[in-house]
Amino acid sequence: MQIDCKVENDPVKLFGLIKAEMERFSGWETVLAPRLVLGLWHPKFLEPAATILPFMRRFCISMSIPEIRKYFWNHCQGFSVWYRQLDTPDGARFRAECAAAGKEICAWTVNGRDEMLQCARWGIYSIITDKPELWRELKKGIVADRTRALRPTLQSYILPYLTVESWWFERQRKSREETVYLEKEGGRFDDIVVPPSVAVAPGSGILHPIA
């Protein structure tokens, strides 16, 4: 489960509450903690997460691949990324970089059949969707005959060009709006100094693709 840590929260208070709640359960360090992922929108969360919850994986949640590379790449095991940014030439490069570095990718919010199948073709670690029943249905076909189920169709090639959110200016507008909001609530990204000790070891992610 990914815990979506909203930027309005105080990270020290939030992570202290999470740790206290987990400590109520027997064997929490080995049974519960590995099943949880901290989803971080802002770099202000990085050092407190590493200090208070060092046993939990950290994912950056973002609508901007350049910001992931600049502020989060060395400090997270994976990245929860807006699907539209992954379905671009730079998104393809980013996916290759993550595979080479052992970084996991979660895509959101993936509700369409063709988008789900595209994530499976890419080998995405996981998806966030409002339609889990649709994914379960598609997964059965992938398990039964992966080659046939994931064979690209004409629609899979033309669909991105028919969706406004896939157009460059719309992606840029939405990602910029998100950054402006995050910096308004949590401070400028460039003002956050993350110590080297927060970096994760190369290949420390656990890759289990969704298909």
At residue 168, the pLDDT reads: 81
Confidence at residue 137, expressed as pLDDT on a 0 to 100 scale: 96
Q: What is the CA radius of gyration of the chain?
A: 18
pLDDT at 205: 47
- What average pLDDT values come out for the chain (211 residues) when binned by 10 residues? 96 97 92 94 98 95 98 98 95 97 97 94 95 96 95 74 76 96 98 94 49 40
Which strand ranges, in their side-by-side order, compose the sheet holding 37-40? 2-5, 37-40, 57-62, 78-82, 104-108, 126-127
pLDDT on residue 160: 67
pLDDT of res. 153 = 79
The pLDDT assigned to 202 comes to: 66
Ordered by where they begin, the domains of the chain are 2-192 (3.20.20)
Q: pTM higher than 0.85 for the full model?
A: yes
What is the pLDDT at residue 169? Answer: 84
